[in-house]
Homo-oligomer: A and B are copies of this chain.
Amino acid sequence: MDEFELIRCYFAPLSPARPNVVLGIGDDAALLAPAAGHLLAVTSDTLIAGRHFPVDTAPFDIGWKALAVNLSDLAAMGARARWFTLALTLPDVDRPWLAGFAAGLQALAADADVALVGGDTTRGPLSVTITAIGEVPAGRALRRSGARPGDRIAVSGTLGDAAAALRQWQRGDAVVGEGQRRLRARLDRPSPRLALGLALRDLAHAAIDLSDGLAADLGHVLDASGVGAAIQAARLPTSAELLIAEPDADARQRLQIAGGDDYELCLTVPASRWIAAQQAAATLGLSLTDIGEIVQTRGFSVYDGNGAPLRFTEAGYRHFP
């Protein structure tokens, strides 16, 4: 099976005809028709086996996650996802693996209404690079630099689930029971919050997606905006599964603040628009939790239920530590 047959068989079905794809897979480059009055939002992320996902991850989930982490970046810009390219490096042509991978990619691509428009397949150690392109009306993108003192700090969904699943995997724990399966699914199949990014585009001041952990990622917003954050540890949104998997509050908060792989949105919202933001999230069936406040004084501070400051030493996962 050569490169061309492989693309025809597994990936061409992910490239459906649509008005904004003038020419899809099969020429030197794809030709895309951008919408008038919009900016392009462009992001690239690579997943490496054993580094960005456990080596026993199902091919369906690798396909899903490789696209999800890129769409999550577009969500954090308030962009509408449109197109993506796939650069897939494989040790060999393993048809069941490819079928599973393509199915996972296809499932999320269909969900998010985004079209595969090109890419490259090469032989080598397993790695997946996706470049996703979205569109956002000029002047309306959510940036990291817009946070203002007094803003509420909001996160979607729950935090720490994926980090707990990763820790279980690192410890060699078997995934048994519905609760542990749900935690593992949070690691393997994150849900990019595209609809939420669009709904909050005109309500939030700033946004980022949580990939490296709340402290590290919100830290980028604080740096870009020249402000600080006061986080209330007791308010961190916590799943029932995480409460059972990690009953110790300190250890749990560490997973939630420095754990990573949440792929939830963290936004700063002016207090006057907080109710509107929460209602917009509720309309989408998503929770939005107020976990603290943007403050003038630089730095990322965490307080317990009594207002006493807490100290964390781990700054979240970075690729070159």
Contact = CB atoms under 8 A, between A and B. Distances in A.
A131 B31 contact: no
Contacts of A86: 44
B28 A77 contact: yes
A224 B25 CA distance: 12
Contact of A123 (B29, B45, B48): B48
Interface in A133-181: 133-134, 136, 138, 141, 143-145
A42 interface: yes
A137 B181 CA distance: 50
B134 A29 contact: yes
A248 interface: no
A227 B125 CA distance: 38
A275 interface: no
A12 interface: no
A2 interface: yes
Interface in A290-321: 318-321
B321 A2 contact: yes
B28 A42 contact: no
Contact of A45 (B22, B76, B77, B87): B87
Nearest to A207: B28
Most chain B beta-carbon contacts within 10 A, residue among A43, A86, A125, A136: A43
A224 B26 contact: yes
Contacts of A74: 28-29
A58 B85 CA distance: 28
Contacts of A83: 42
A36 B208 CA distance: 29
Contact of A76 (B28, B31, B133): B28
A151 B240 CA distance: 69
A318 B132 CA distance: 26
B131 A85 contact: yes
Interface in A14-73: 22-23, 26-34, 36, 39-46, 48, 51-52, 73
B318 A118 contact: no
A303 B40 CA distance: 48
Nearest to A135: B34
Interface of A: 1-4, 6, 22-23, 26-34, 36, 39-46, 48, 51-52, 73-74, 76-77, 79, 83, 85-87, 89, 93, 117-125, 127, 129, 131-134, 136, 138, 141, 143-145, 207-209, 224, 318-321
Given A32-B42, A42-B85, A51-B123, 6 more contacts: A4-B318, A33-B39, A36-B36, A40-B133, A87-B131, A123-B320
